[in-house]
Homo-oligomer: A and B are copies of this chain.
Amino acid sequence: MIVLDLKSNKPIYEQIVEQMKFHVLKGHLKPGDAIPSVRKLALDIAITPGTVAKAYQELERQHIIETIRGKGTFIAGNIELKPDDTRMEESKKMMRSVILELKVMGLSETEVTDMVKELYKEMSVC
């Protein structure tokens, strides 16, 4: 289930990528599972197929899904969990940025890590 926030400044295709990864992480989608076709998902969430295609291509580039020509798209077999250096560096940059923001708002190290723990656990539940 993909839910879009059209008001968000995060591009739609990125929202799809992120949520799809979330569903894989949660086990809602397992290796080998078929995911909706580009056209079907586009209809479901009322956007143009090109945008879904862009999201799927990005997911494929990240080895999260695999495309079988003419047949459809599937969750990849052995999902690459190795923290690929480039992605790791990007995540760290974003993390630094958020932490700075929180620090500026006056949060202590403990408050920040507590928040992180809470968010981490929250993701396991919903």
Please tell me if the beta carbons of A113 and B116 are within 8 angstroms of each other in the complex: yes
A25 and B83 in contact (CB under 8 A), knowing A92-B115, A115-B92? Answer: no
For A8, give the chain B residue with the smallest CB separation. Answer: B93
Q: List B contacts of A24 (CB < 8 A).
A: 104
With both chains docked as a complex, state the minimum distance between the C-beta of A111 and any C-beta of chain B, in angstroms.
9
How many copies the complex holds: the figure is 4
A side interface size, CB within 8 A: 49
A101 at the interface (CB under 8 A from B): yes
Distance to closest chain B CB from A44 (angstroms): 18
What's the dominant secondary structure at chain A's contact region?
helix
Near B by CB (< 8 A), chain A positions 86-119 give 87-88, 91-92, 94-107, 109, 112-113, 115-117, 119
Compute how far the CA of A9 lies from the CA of B71 in the bound complex, rounded to whole angstroms. Answer: 12
Q: Are B25 and A97 in contact (CB under 8 A)?
A: no
For A48, the closest partner residue in chain B by CB is B70
A125 within 8 A of B: no
A83 and B100 within 8 A (CB):
no
A113 to B114: give the CA distance in the assembly, Å.
9
With A21-B100, A98-B94 given, is the CB distance from A105 to B88 under 8 Å?
yes
